[in-house]
């Protein structure tokens, strides 16, 4: 069942968002821009390497994923618009290839890697 859902999720999200199946979807807080399409796979951005013209320092043929995410998040409804400013934890690579839908339902996507703590107060 888990594999079937992962296959369906990939079939739906890959063509729309170029989903990389990280298993911890944060599209709602990034203006529906997949952060895993950033060449550095940053979950928070932009990094300090974005060029003056808004292109990526790693791949100058592409606009910075995080600049797009910021623009798009401003068009999102509340509370997702405000969630753009939340500090997202590092991705847990053990979830790669699993269904973020299942991980959302089970709460597994909220488990952060050992040793990582946000200094931000918890969201209300």
Binding test (CB under 6 A) with ligand SF4, winner from 73, 88, 100, 109: 100
Site string for ligand SF4, 33-72 (x = CB under 6 A): -xxx------------------------------------
By CB under 6 A, is residue 20 in contact with ligand SF4?
Answer: yes
* Phi, psi (degrees; rounded to nearest 5) at 57: -70, -25
- The H or E element containing residue 66 is helix 65-73
Name the DSSP class of 60: T
Stretch that binds ligand SF4, among 11-19, 47-55, 70-78, 115-123 (CB under 6 A): 11-19
Residues 6+ apart with CB under 8 A from 81: 73, 74, 75
State the DSSP code for 111: P
Q: Contact between 13 and ligand SF4 (CB under 6 A)?
A: yes
Residues 23 and 95: beta-carbon distance below 8 Å: yes
Q: How far is the CB of 62 from ligand SF4 (least distance, A)?
A: 16
Interface with ligand SF4 (CB under 6 A): 13, 17, 19-22, 25-27, 34-36, 100
């Amino acid at each position: 069942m888990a594999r079937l859902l992962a296959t369906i999720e990939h079939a739906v999200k890959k063509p729309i968002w170029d989903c990389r199946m990280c298993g911890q979807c944060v599209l709602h807080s990034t203006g529906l821009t997949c952060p895993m399409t950033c060449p550095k796979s940053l979950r928070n951005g932009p990094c300090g390497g974005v060029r003056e013209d808004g292109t990526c320092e790693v791949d100058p043929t592409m606009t910075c994923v995080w600049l797009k995410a910021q623009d798009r998040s401003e068009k999102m409804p509340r509370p997702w618009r405000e969630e753009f400013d939340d500090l997202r934890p590092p991705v847990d690579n053990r979830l790669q290839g699993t269904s973020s839908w299942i991980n959302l339902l089970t709460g597994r996507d909220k488990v952060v890697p050992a040793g990582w703590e946000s200094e931000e107060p918890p969201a209300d």
